[in-house]
Amino acid sequence: MAGKIVIDTERCKGCGLCVVVCPKNCIVISRHSNKNGYFPAQVTNADCTGCAMCAIICPDVVIEVYRDENIVPIEGSSKKTELTKERA
């Protein structure tokens, strides 16, 4: 597993955007409603890459993303690191 997410299911409104956007099909809508009457998103498997697309698209900002330390940096962040080194 390269990444994992934690969903605050009590604040989720079950819009399903995270389900649609996840490239690894890691998220489904729960059959059980939360205290506000919404059917929240829930994580289903361990294929999460930590890409954070679900967290970015979530209108209620209820998804936290974690990445393993050994994950290969995405191109943008890698360049940023090199840039930082050059300036140092």
Residues at the interface with ligand SF4 (CB under 6 A): 3, 5, 7, 12-18, 21-22, 24, 26-27, 40-41, 48-54, 57-58, 60, 62-63, 65
Instruction: Please state the closest distance from residue 59 (CB atom) to ligand SF4, in A.
Output: 6
Query: Residue type at 7?
Result: I
Question: Residue 54 in contact with residue 63, Cβ under 8 Å?
Answer: yes
Instruction: Please state the closest distance from residue 68 (CB atom) to ligand SF4, in A.
Output: 12
State which residue, 61 or 83, has the beta carbon closest to ligand SF4.
61
Alpha carbon distance 71, 54 (integer Å): 18
Structure-token pair, residue 76:
């943008």
